[in-house]
Structures are given as C-alpha cells and as structure tokens.
Amino acid sequence: DILSRLDLSKPREATSAQRRIFSDSLSRAVGEGAQSSYRARSRAPLPARKVELKLGPTLGRQAHVEPERGTDLGGALRRLQATLSQNRVRADAHEQKFHVRRGMVRKQKKMQRWKKLFKFSFQGTVKKIQRMQAQGW
C-alpha cells in the first residue's frame, strides 16, 4: 500500500505543493540550526582577551605633532600645557596628596567661593571707577 503510493517505478515532477512543503521544511531546518548554533555560541563563555592598558595619570593627555597641518613640537607642547592648566591637573594632584577632613573641605570650598565672588565684584567696581574717571568724575 505504501509502495503504491510512493510510485517509485516512474520518475515524475514533484507537485508545487510538495515542493513548497519541502522548501518550507528545509528553510525551517536551516533556521533552527542557525538559531541553535547561535544559542550554543552565546552560552559558551568567550575566551578572555587580556589587554594591557596603561591606566596612568597621563592617559588621554596628548597633543599630536602634525607638520603637514602646521602643528610643530612647540605648538603641540603649548596646547598640551593649556589643556593641563584648564583641567587644573596640577591643582588636583596637589589636593589629592593629603587627606582632608570633610568639614575642612566644606570650609575650604566656602572660602574659595567667597574669594571668587569677591574678585568678580571687586573687578566690576574697578571697571566702574575707571569708566567714571574716563567721563571726568
């Protein structure tokens, strides 16, 4: 009965429905195989790569010397020095040398804020006086 249904004696073209079922099952099998291999790879621990990083205090502080762009060694050093002073690197290094109590830190910050405010106000007053003198007061 099964052999008669298979009809192995004469070769014939597969019907479109049979072709579609085969292609669907094939694509499903390929897809499942890809997913299972992806899952197996994602579960497997990746080999740890050891990268030597030089995480020192000078990391990221660099100025490139590019003669074709007009940056010589002197210009690069000036730019590097400007970056360091703008980021207050020397001041931070000095502040981090010693431990300071929390209350003392608060007190120092309050003094720094007051000094900065006083300087700003005083400079404004001086400018006002100079403007008045220029007007003939």
pLDDT for position 34: 58
Helices (H), 1-137: 2-6, 16-43, 73-86, 89-95, 102-135
Residue 8 pLDDT > 80: no
Neighbours of 80 (CB within 10 A): 14
CA distance 131 to 127: 6
pLDDT tens profile 43-72: 666 667 777 777 876 777 788 888 898 889
